Amino acid sequence: MPGGAYEVVAGAGALSLIEEKRGLLERDPFALIVNETVLGLHGDYIRRCFGDFHAFDIYGMPDGEEQKSYRHAERAFEWMLGAGISRRSTVVGVGGGVTGDFAGYLAALYMRGISVIHVPTTLLAMVDSSVGGKVAVNLSTGKNIVGAFHQPEMVLADTDFLRTLPDDELRNGLAEAVKHAFIGENELYALFESNDFDSIKNPKKLADIVYLSARFKSSIVERDEREGGVRAILNFGHTVGHAIESLLEYRGISHGEAVSLGMAVELELSVRAGLLDRAHAQRCMRLLERYGLSTHRDGLDADGLMHHMKFDKKTSGGAAHFALLAGAGEPVYDRAMPDGLVRGVLADVLAGEA
């Protein structure tokens, strides 16, 4: 990749390959940033894989998007300094997307940048956030506002972690994988259309989803590491999705649910903007519903969402910019839409009236 080539390894037992990075991890003490729930469920396995390394400290990270904040990062930086983490050290993030984003952000900024290895433990992190080098924390008014591009040394997507993942968390990751299917990963689209939520939980099929998603996203990032062009297609569903998360203060909604709602809104916006025929939009909506992904939610204020979109990174000249669909696997990006059209679509779709 432009920021430096690295391996993305997916499959059962992948964490054991951390041994390949012994030279990197034993230069100085390394920081193991681990989600507390993951540590409780898989602590013995994690400690066994890292047990032969001579010097590391574990920083337990609680669940919740609200933990990925500027304030919590300052506390973690102080901990790293006290733990003897140096410019030759490495940060290893073990957990879901929040943990990975947070660990990557710490690595990108600490002492002007140190190495990071991602060990995603949720389907969402495996198919999306662990690949591509985007790391960030949130502000109260917007998601991922303060961040950097910082590519990892390695990504180890160990699908053994998925065995303890509840159905809601699987759906959380499926939303991002379905997005990849919508915007151009045709093999993944076919896989989703020929299965349902129960059959997709087969370990081999989950591994296929991780592989196809990581391959697709990597191919986009290789062409546009810093989101100056085509990488923006990966934002499909996210302009609205991030606004929903910000409006709700990252409570009571998962990232996947917000993105699924965002895709439902942006599919309808694509239709009303004259880009997409309604038949394909309906086909996509049926696929979301087949996997139990949200397509409407009562109680979300359209004006409040419009306000939060103004703080989105994709806003330019005071107007929110969208990645939309112009056909099956045909995304377009950087499309400014009139406020009145966006507000109307938000109100109709989220109330289930579109």
pLDDT in tens, 320-345: 889 999 999 999 999 999 999 999 99
Going from the N-terminus, what domains does the chain have, and what CATH number goes with each? 7-164 (3.40.50.1970), 167-350 (1.20.1090.10)
Q: Which amino acid is at 154?
A: M
What local confidence, expressed as pLDDT, does residue 197 receive? 97
In whole angstroms, give the CA distance from residue 113 to residue 150: 8
Beta-carbon count within 10 A of 103 CB: 29
**What is the pLDDT confidence band of residue 1, given thresholds at 50, 70 and 90?**
very low
What local confidence, expressed as pLDDT, does residue 193 receive? 96
Per-residue pLDDT tens digits for 158-179: 999 999 999 999 999 999 999 9
In whole angstroms, give the CA distance from residue 238 to residue 245: 10
Active-site residue numbers? 112, 134, 176, 217, 227, 231, 235, 238, 242, 255
Q: What is the mean pLDDT of residues 73-91?
A: 96
**What is the pLDDT confidence band of residue 250, given thresholds at 50, 70 and 90?**
confident
Per-residue pLDDT tens digits for 264-286: 999 999 999 999 999 999 999 99
To the question of pTM greater than 0.85 for the whole model, the response is yes
CA distances from residue 277 to 41, 107, 298, 334 in whole angstroms, order as listed = 46, 44, 26, 20
* Helix 255-272, helix 339-350: angle, nearest 10: 120
Sheet with strand 115-120: strands edge to edge: 7-11, 154-158, 115-120, 90-95, 30-35, 56-61
Write b or e for each residue in 139-171: b if 16 or more Cβ atoms lie within 10 A of its Cβ, otherwise e. Answer: eeebbbbebebbbbbbbbbbbbbbeebeeebbb
